[in-house]
Structure 1
Amino acid sequence: MSAILGSLLKRYYFERLADIRAPARAPEREFGYFRPGSGMVRHISVRDDAGLRLLLSQNAPPDVYCSNAYYAFPELPMREKEWRGADLIFDVDAKDLALPCRAEHAVRVCECSRVHARAECPHCGSQKSQARSLPCKKCIKAAWDEVEKLLKILEEDLGITGAIAYFSGNEGFHVHVEDPGTYKLGSKERLEIADYVSFRGAIPELVGLPRNAEKKKPAKPAEPDNPGWPGRYARHALASKAARSRAKKEAESGGYQLAQARLAEAAPVIGARIDPGVTTDVHRIFRLAGTVNGKSGLSKIPWEGEGDPYEAAALLGGDPREVVAECPVRFALGGSRFGPFEHGRVRVPAYAAAYMICKGLASDPA
């Protein structure tokens, strides 16, 4: 690990240790962390704040994780843990939203360690490289819009209140639901919830457009003031009398497949675009709130939507650090803008140095 990054992590976990708390029911959760040079260390049991702080102060790891699951024996191998339940967690990530701006701030780190924005490295000719993205405000705003949709659906349709949103420290958000009513849900039930909040798999009958409507009963398209998904879809696609009339005629003339296609088209607009694989995993480990994200050097922090998370989560210090940077795109962080940097030495605030190091765009000076 970079000596600069290592020193910043040690300082962070010294200065901010008292602010980091163990999650609810900590003794029943599995903890883990990434140890540079040897990989993941898992199956750790932490009893309380003091135990967690000891782990952080001794290791100052670049990544710290905690399970959403509760176990009888969290320190044992997976098959021996005895699962007791799990928090319901949703993940929204800008990289999954197919945003047009992404190409503007995407770079590639070649196996020769040089950075470029092409398919082929201009320095060594290799096509073997790893993609890196330096998300912009448009990215994080789009991701937050999905979180707001999700929170509204959870509360209005499922009666789930008190969900907490966190900026993940990189490109998106985690939404944690700690509700006893959801603890025992299995992967199948969680997939149903994921599909529901995403409006995935919706059928025309839901919005009053049944198959063979003329043979059974007349189609009655949903109205904008209907509750739940019928109302949301109506406000999106059936807001006018003309639109509802057209939908009714289509349903009564065999246009069921067309109605299905229109529902599918509406899903990413009115549904919350989440990663269903995250929600359905009842044994997953998640980044621990208050700790640093090793992919960016930013912290995972609670977020309510006001301000800029790329400023609020830049907590590794503003004192200047010198690094060898190669970053062909500009990026905003900590309320300032940086780059582009050609291959050479630059002095930037500690949080920006850590960010570029974590992204593979900078290294310690020789």
Structure 2
Amino acid sequence: MEERTVAYLRGAFKRHYEATEVSPPPAPNEREWGYIPWTAQAQTTMVRHRSWLDVGNLGRFLTEERPQHVYFSAAQYRDPSANSMSRKDWQGTDLVFDLDADHLPGVDPEETTYREMLATCKDALLDLLDVLEDDFGFEDTTVVFSGGRGYHVHVRDDGVHELGRGDRREIVEYVLAEGLDLDALLARELVDGIGLENPTEKRTLSTTGGWGKRVHDRLLALVDEVRAMDDHEDKLERLQAYDGIGEGSAEKLVDVFDANYDQIAQGNVEVHGRFLTLARQVAAETFDAESAPIDEPVTTDINRLIRLPGSLHGGTGLMVERIPRDAVADFEPLEDAISPVFGDESDGALAIEVTEPVTVELGDDTFTLEAGAATVPEYVGVFAMARGHAEIAKQ
């Protein structure tokens, strides 16, 4: 990146910070602070082990330093400015989750557009929030668009700060549905059989919460789907899509769905042997579709630094945006995270030199930039320069 481009971006970031009130996290004086300054070199070094006293007034610090990236520690310490973790005297850590769009299963950064990647990532975010809120009962959650490839969730409920790496790893395993199968979810009870000397075992899925309910919901939805089909051959074809379900088994299952619907709705999976075969595969589908592919090291690392909401992401120029919980579903990162100070198409344009062809998806438009001189809205130019695809035009 040319020095003139660095100077322009630093100036643009300053304008953002002058116009934006950035709120610190809870207990900012107990957290380590770090930042990466703007430089023309590709390799940059983080300035870290700073305390709140070093930062001073946050607004003034951001306006004067105009950093490329800004971070604070998820952990709280007695001495956050100590230059070794052992001397900081750890007091606890927020429970933090990170979702990166280009690390999601089925996402190929070479084939998937930025907008599509972020849409897929938001789906994963909603799955994550469903698990955190419904299964763990967390209420004090802060959702943040990272300004780059995904989302962060900060959990600060009572009791989470003291969790060690092992406890956090168990939470990760649950969120990822690691090691889960249908048998692990089944509740077992002995049921007296009429006319039988020994009681029989009944296995059921939970219909009230957790992974058991998710599997049961998906299984019951399949049963309802098949029962609602008018054509009998369509019912058989739908069921034969599952391994181990041939035509005869499918015929039997169609009858089982009708004859045992109430039992199935109550979570009973013992209605037929082939139904259990089907349930195992639906369980695997559920784990794959509804687990949240979080970045494990972020959650288990009790000393992790995380991006400051309200700051700008130096690799995109987009805001690290805190999202109200009830606004997550409607949040559009490539529109809502554009800093207002960078304007829109009606506010004039910026002259840049595109160094390599690039497609920029921002706002409700797609900009195809060929190598050479171009005039674009400032927010597009800031994005292209921050990504390393362009330089500010020479005056």
| TM-score > 0.5, shorter chain as reference | yes
The 5 A counterparts of 1:124-139 are 135-136=114-115, 138-139=116-117
8 Å Cα contact 1:190-1:279 kept in structure 2: yes
1:268-304 CA distance string (max 9 Å, x none): 3122221112111110000100001111110111223
Structure with the largest fraction of helix: 2
Q: 2:215 aligns with which of 224, 227, 233?
A: 233
- C-alpha deviation, 1:49, in angstroms: 9.0
Identity level (%): 32
Local SS of the residue matching 1:39: coil
Provide the rounded CA distance (Å) in 2 between the counterparts of 1:209 and 1:180. 30
1:229-254 CA distance string (max 9 Å, x none): 111012224543659768962698xx
- C-alpha deviation, 1:217, in angstroms: 5.6
Q: 1:337 aligns with which of 359, 366, 371?
A: 366
328 and 260 in structure 1: CA distance in 2 versus 1, 3 angstrom threshold: farther
Corresponding position: 1:292 with 2:321: no
Local SS of the residue matching 1:324: strand
Q: 1:6 aligns with which of 5, 10, 19?
A: 10
Partner of 1:142: 120
Provide the rounded CA distance (Å) in 1 between the counterparts of 2:35 and 2:371. 32
Q: 2:184 aligns with which of 181, 206, 217?
A: 206
Unaligned 5+ segments in structure 2 are 189-197, 224-255, 258-263
Partner of 2:151: 173
The 5 A counterparts of 1:284-323 are 284-303=304-323, 304-305=327-328, 306-315=330-339, 316-318=341-343, 319-323=348-352
Local SS of the residue matching 2:46: strand
Q: 1:151 aligns with which of 129, 133, 140?
A: 129
The 5 A counterparts of 1:1-366 are 2=5, 3-16=7-20, 19-37=21-39, 39-47=45-53, 51-77=57-83, 78-99=85-106, 102-104=109-111, 135-136=114-115, 138-208=116-186, 218=201, 220-222=203-205, 225-237=207-219, 239=221, 240=223, 242=257, 249=273, 263-303=283-323, 304-305=327-328, 306-315=330-339, 316-318=341-343, 319-326=348-355, 328-339=357-368, 341-366=369-394
TM-score, reference length from structure 1: 0.80
- C-alpha deviation, 1:337, in angstroms: 2.3
- C-alpha deviation, 1:327, in angstroms: 5.2
Provide the rounded CA distance (Å) in 2 between the counterparts of 1:206 and 1:238. 19
8 Å Cα contact 1:34-1:61 kept in structure 2: yes
8 Å Cα contact 2:202-2:270 kept in structure 1: no
> Paired residues, what number?
325
- C-alpha deviation, 1:56, in angstroms: 1.1
8 Å Cα contact 1:198-1:272 kept in structure 2: yes
- C-alpha deviation, 1:40, in angstroms: 0.8
Partner of 2:195: none
8 Å Cα contact 2:37-2:66 kept in structure 1: no
8 Å Cα contact 2:125-2:151 kept in structure 1: yes
311 and 247 in structure 1: CA distance in 2 versus 1, 3 angstrom threshold: farther
Unaligned 5+ segments in structure 1 are 106-133
8 Å Cα contact 1:169-1:293 kept in structure 2: yes
- C-alpha deviation, 1:331, in angstroms: 3.0
8 Å Cα contact 1:92-1:147 kept in structure 2: yes
- C-alpha deviation, 1:173, in angstroms: 0.6
8 Å Cα contact 2:357-2:371 kept in structure 1: no
Residue 41 of structure 1 aligns with an amino acid whose one-letter code is: V
8 Å Cα contact 1:221-1:248 kept in structure 2: no
Local SS of the residue matching 1:8: helix
8 Å Cα contact 1:201-1:264 kept in structure 2: no
8 Å Cα contact 1:4-1:364 kept in structure 2: yes
Partner of 2:250: none
